[in-house]
Amino acid sequence: MNDLTQGREGKQIMMFAIPMLIGNVFQQLYNIVDSIVVGKYIGSVALAAVGASFPILFTLSALVGGITIGGSVLISQYYGAKNFKKIKVTSDTLQIFLLVSSAALSLLFFAISRPLFQFLSIPPEVLPDAVRYFDIVILTTTIPMFSLFGMSAILRGVGNSKTPVVFVVISIIINIILDLLFVLVFGWGVDGVAWATAIATIAAWVALWYHLNSKENAVIRFNLNYKKWQFDWTNFRLSLRIGLPSGVQQTLVGLGSMALLSIVSPFGVAALAAYTAAGRVDMFVSMPAMNLAAALSSFVGQNLGAERYDRIKKGLYSTLLYSTVICVALSLVVVFFGGEIMRLFTDINSPDYNEIITIGKEYLVIVTSFYIVFSTMFVYNGVTRGAGATVVPMLITTLSLWAIRVPLAYLLSHYFGTAGIWWSIPIGWAAGCIGAVLYYNSGLWKKHRVKTALN
């Protein structure tokens, strides 16, 4: 456990963010290696198939993931107030909910996978691989992945961002090794990539659960003996009130990605493969801002619980400085070396080689040039999320995504092709950033401290 209510604000946030950042660096490196293996050794159709699954998998986890945000905010505020009884109840309630919801959602999405891909206008030559990959992943990884989300959120709430990272890194290394084994040695194609993900995810889940129940403080353990589980409806409703808006927000982002996918798909396999590959790089560049914002949320939660309001503004400005410097540096690398980066993802003998490189580089240059806007939006939202004020950010995201980005992508694609789709992304960010800054400056988010829960 780590008390974030004492010490230098910027240093604490950075030190808290670094373990999460390391874990996500490995996660995104895995995604990049995975895409390179698929694109170079299976083909552009397979790369498009794996990429087509990502927005759906993201959407599936987003709504439930919002509840983990609510649980983490509660735990961080309880920890700041030193209310350990409430921490235990919140931890158990969160884990029980995730077990039940993940089982139900995995069966539902397995049942509708083919019609869902057809609805998204996935090219016919991509559809069989996309459905097969998705079905394996959805049935084998949903329960362990959601449980991992929950355990990581609980640990972050009590100031421990290091432990989950160790298990994530080990899981990713296993995943990469199995990817290479199943694809290059056994020749299992897309199925091999899916089974590598399944085995690695389950291994991380079992290992982290064992650690949580044998090494961590008793207030956050989750015993397999269901008779010892504590599910509290009052606590769950409070988690919903805080976390559901963030979950809806992330779900809308996922649905927005699916909408963009349906706009990209009619441009063909090369466009879809380029979108997949460039999206992997895109996520890598964006994650420092996302991790710093997550660290800031825990920092804000604990300091609100301890009524240390003086530290929050200092933490915000330090986080803005760190995220801006990192994002600008990464963006410059991607903009100047976009073509070389895209060449990693496709076989030079592929008939779509040149088209994939051109479209992917176009995406990277347009989108990553505006990451300073993205990082600013995320950091400001990190403050309000840590305070439990999640409704207004949800509304801002909804408007910037569905009133601006998606309609613009559809409209501009008719005039400028795929470039029009890419330009809609930073324009949507700009709208969201303006809204996030205005809401923070209004001070209304300060009223959302969970006062009654701290008693």
Residue partners of 43: CB distance under 8 A and separation at least 6: 347, 350
Residue 3 lies in a domain: no
pTM of the complete model: 0.71
Q: Which domain holds residue 367?
A: 9-454
Residue 2 lies in a domain: no
Residue 449 lies in a domain: yes
d(CA 77, CA 157): 8
Residue 1 lies in a domain: no
Residue 388 lies in a domain: yes
C-beta neighbour count of 122 within 10 angstroms? 24
* 386-299-153 Cα angle (round to 5): 65
Local structure of 452: helix, strand or coil: helix
Cα-Cα-Cα-Cα torsion 257, 258, 259, 262, nearest 10 degrees, comes to 120
Query: For residue 83, what are the CA distances in angstroms to 1, 4, 75, 159, 295?
Result: 14, 15, 9, 14, 21
Residue 4 lies in a domain: no
Residue partners of 21: CB distance under 8 A and separation at least 6: 287, 288, 291, 292
Residue among 49, 132, 46 nearest 350 (CA):
46
* Parts of the chain with a pLDDT under 50: 452-454
Question: Per residue, what are the HEC states of 88-136?
Answer: HHHHHHHHHHHHHHHHHHHHHHHHCHHHHHHHCCCCCCCHHHHHHHHHH
Question: Which amino acid type is present at position 418?
Answer: T
Q: Which residue has the tokens 């409209």?
A: 411
Residue 390 lies in a domain: yes
d(CA 78, CA 297): 14
Q: Are 363 and 422 in contact (CB under 8 A)?
A: yes
- Determine the pLDDT at residue 421: 95
- Determine the pLDDT at residue 1: 54
- Determine the pLDDT at residue 359: 94
C-beta neighbour count of 372 within 10 angstroms? 17
Residue 198 lies in a domain: yes
Q: Which pair of structure tokens corresponds to residue 113? A: 């996978």
Question: Which amino acid type is present at position 36?
Answer: I
The total number of structural domains that make up the chain:
1
